[in-house]
Copies of this chain bind each other. A is one copy, B any other.
Amino acid sequence: MDYQKILDEIYDEIQPELKRGKVADYIPALAEVEKGQFAMSLTLEDGSVYSVGESKKRFSIQSISKVYTFVLALDIYSKKLYRRVGIEPSGNPFNSLVQLEYENGIPRNPFINAGAIAITDALISHYEDEYKTLEVIMNFIREISNNKELSFDQRVAHSEMEHGDRNLALARLMKSFGNFENDVQGTVMTYFKHCAITMNTEELSRSMLFLAFGGKDPISKREFIDRSKAKRINAVMLTCGHYDASGEFAFFVGLPAKSGVGGGIAAIVPGEMSIAVWSPALNKYGNSHAGTLALEKFTTKTGLSIF
């Protein structure tokens, strides 16, 4: 298939959509990103990369980082992780306290905020230190991406913390139910730091390639997680990767994927490729408006789908 031609077509077709939706504005560092931007990249098994748009421009990956921490925690804790975090779609907004209260402090899945904070807490318990944990997360991302330059944006992380009351409330509520082990402020700060990782679509797509190939990077041949766990992570991306629009995404796009409020989406086609798209304006569910449409166009044009 001529992937470059397909990406170019999508680029043209998506232009009228780039101004629709709204950039995340709950912190200044995200609010100031210009909305008309777009980038899309694919990475294939053999390492070949196809891109269109501003694919060298880094953005805040935000919730996409929850995939990496879930991979790390599932590798460490295996089945024990389910005692702390479920694997069901929530049917509620990503930062809701309601369900967390009804379900006694056990977050529904690792991709809603409470779940990702619990995962960060579990990692800190394992590595016994916030800074060590952050270093492990950063090193992991650098390894799966084969890119030593990746980092996070301190300004974004601190800005998140200044507006972090809702997430602190989630952490406190989990603590009140006994589902929290470390310092609340420090853990939430670590969570905000990994959410503040910046990547461009080429880097993001490269970083997810191992999940498209059963946990083993087809280029470096390194296995980062076993096949069975890789498939399960993909399953959670499909059922829970787009907050309360996960069903719609599965319906219209049909690929495991994870979005972030920075406007990025990472998707994988099992056995074929990984894909990253970025466009900062969000739809009402908090997912990239043009990014979602671009992925729908991509699966329609290529016929790629897991179904």
Query: How far apart sit A176 and B252, CA to CA, in the bound complex (Å)?
Result: 30
Query: How far apart sit A166 and B236, CA to CA, in the bound complex (Å)?
Result: 29
Q: Does A175 sit at the interface, judged by CB under 8 A?
A: yes
From B176, B234, B235, B251, A87 is in contact (CB under 8 Å) with B251
Whether B176 lies near A307 (C-beta < 8 A) is no
Q: Does A108 sit at the interface, judged by CB under 8 A?
A: yes
Whether B169 lies near A165 (C-beta < 8 A) is no
Q: Does A225 sit at the interface, judged by CB under 8 A?
A: no
From DSSP, what is the main secondary structure of chain A's interface residues?
A: helix
Q: Does A280 sit at the interface, judged by CB under 8 A?
A: no
From B102, B180, B250, A238 is in contact (CB under 8 Å) with B250
Whether A172 lies near B168 (C-beta < 8 A) is yes
Closest B residue to A99 by beta carbon equals B91
- Report chain B residues within 8 Å CB of A305: 231
- Report chain B residues within 8 Å CB of A272: none
Q: How many residues of A contact B (CB 8 A)?
A: 50
- Report chain B residues within 8 Å CB of A15: none
CB distance from A51 to the nearest CB of B (A): 25
Q: Does A248 sit at the interface, judged by CB under 8 A?
A: yes
Q: Name A214-267 residues within 8 Å CB distance of B.
A: 228, 230-232, 234-236, 238-240, 244-248, 250-252, 254, 256
Besides the contacts A88-B245, A166-B176, what 10 more A-B pairs have beta carbons closer than 8 Å?
A89-B89, A89-B246, A91-B92, A97-B101, A97-B169, A165-B173, A165-B180, A166-B172, A230-B307, A238-B307
User: Interface residues, chain A, CB within 8 Å of chain B?
Assistant: 86-92, 96-99, 101-102, 108-109, 165-166, 168-170, 172-173, 175-176, 180, 228, 230-232, 234-236, 238-240, 244-248, 250-252, 254, 256, 270, 300, 305-307
